[in-house]
């Protein structure tokens, strides 16, 4: 394992619902799931359908102790959890975190409620893994593993959503999905989470042209992602949470347009891995 690398792997980049077929071969059709490896520590963000593949990879590589942080619990961010093989393995220890329902539901209640009959054949209590459910409030600073700092903030999305800023080894990667921007305004909470980031993973469901028809849906655009990254001094922008109707060719075109405006922009794909070398003596 690379102890001196901050690794980001996309297991699911599609928003709303998984898709399959000849038009989503290159970018993939799994919904939201991101893995981050901070040296020997492994974090997962969201449990969309991409989580199933992450589970198979974890089993193959012997990853048995890690954190799973939820941005929120819409279907595209949770549907993979019942199909995540590590939860049925008694040698596995998972710490689950959420904060978007603070004061309304605990992380344990959230998971218990969707993983049970009649929605799924079995209940969470058949899981043999050790599941440690933690709750936090937006704005809290989490320290899930030694040396790993995770800052949290509220995004603009129906029912609430949490944005994350992960700091380790002098590197910063931010997860900003799902969120809606106001026209001609930069969200100060988002700017704080992405300041000087090496990579910003941003909700680019729509284009600015489409946005008017989708006000209130809780999503944003690649154009807004570029503006935010420029204002915050961020270096990389992963276009993410692709609309399910978007074809591979359309995403190629969007990526090209975004790159012309911001050199560090790219359209994220299922299975894509990025590595950021770190200096473990330099902490922010």
Binding site for Zn ion (CB under 5 A): 15, 74, 76, 178
Nearer to Zn ion by Cβ, of 76 and 198: the residue is: 76
For the CB of residue 17, give the shortest distance to Zn ion in the complex, in Å.
9
CB of 102 to Zn ion, least distance (A): 17
Nearer residue to Zn ion within complex by CB, 39 or 218: 218
What's the CA angle centered on 184, arms 227 and 33, to 5 degrees? 50
Give min distance, CB of 49 to Zn ion, in A: 12
Residue whose C-alpha is closest to residue 246's, from 213, 265, 269? 269
For residues 44 and 63, which CB has a smaller minimum distance to Zn ion in the complex?
44
**C-alpha to C-alpha distances, 228 to 150, 185, 222, 233, 252, nearest whole angstrom:** 20, 10, 10, 8, 22
- Indicate the residue among 127 and 251 with the shorter CB distance to Zn ion: 251
Give me the residue whose beta carbon is nearest to Zn ion. 74
Residue 51: helix, strand or coil by DSSP?
helix
- Nearer to Zn ion by Cβ, of 15 and 99: the residue is 15
* Rounded distance between C-alpha atoms, residue 157 and residue 215, angstroms: 11
For 130, the enclosing helix (H) or strand (E) is strand 130-135
Q: In angstroms, give the least distance from the CB of 251 to Zn ion.
A: 17
CB of 46 closer than 8 Å to CB of 61: no
| Least Cβ distance, residue 202 to Zn ion (angstroms) | 13
Q: How far apart are CA 213 and CA 146, in angstroms?
A: 45
Q: Which is nearer to Zn ion, 15 or 29 (CB)?
A: 15
State the minimum distance, in angstroms, from the CB of residue 114 to Zn ion: 14
Q: Under 8 Å CB-to-CB from 275, ≥6 apart: which residues?
A: 2, 5, 6, 7, 8
> Do 77 and 101 form a contact (C-beta atoms < 8 A)?
no
């Amino acid at each position: 394992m690379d102890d001196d690398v901050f690794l980001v792997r996309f297991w699911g980049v599609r928003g709303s619902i998984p898709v399959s077929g000849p038009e989503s071969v290159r970018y993939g059709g799994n919904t939201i799931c991101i893995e981050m490896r901070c040296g020997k520590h492994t974090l997962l963000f969201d449990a969309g359908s991409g989580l199933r593949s992450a589970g198979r990879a974890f089993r193959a590589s012997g990853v048995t102790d890690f954190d799973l942080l939820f941005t929120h619990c819409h279907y595209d961010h949770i549907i993979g959890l019942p199909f995540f093989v590590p939860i049925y393995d008694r040698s596995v220890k998972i710490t689950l975190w959420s904060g978007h329902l603070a004061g309304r539901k605990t992380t344990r209640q959230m998971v218990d409620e969707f993983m049970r009959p009649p929605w799924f054949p079995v209940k969470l209590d058949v899981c043999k893994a050790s599941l440690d459910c933690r709750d936090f409030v937006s704005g809290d600073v989490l320290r899930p593993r030694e040396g790993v700092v995770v800052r949290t903030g509220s995004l603009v999305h129906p029912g609430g959503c949490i944005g994350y800023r992960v700091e380790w080894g002098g590197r910063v990667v931010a997860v900003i999905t799902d969120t809606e921007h106001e026209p001609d305004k930069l969200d100060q909470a988002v700017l704080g989470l992405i300041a000087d980031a090496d990579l910003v993973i941003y909700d680019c469901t729509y284009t600015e042209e489409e946005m008017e028809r989708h006000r209130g849906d809780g999503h944003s655009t690649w154009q807004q992602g570029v503006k935010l990254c420029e204002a915050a001094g961020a270096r990389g922008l992963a276009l993410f949470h692709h609309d399910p109707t978007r074809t591979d060719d359309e995403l190629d075109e969007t990526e090209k347009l975004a790159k012309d405006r911001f050199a560090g922009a790219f359209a994220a794909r299922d299975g894509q891995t990025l590595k950021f070398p770190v200096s473990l003596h330099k902490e922010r």
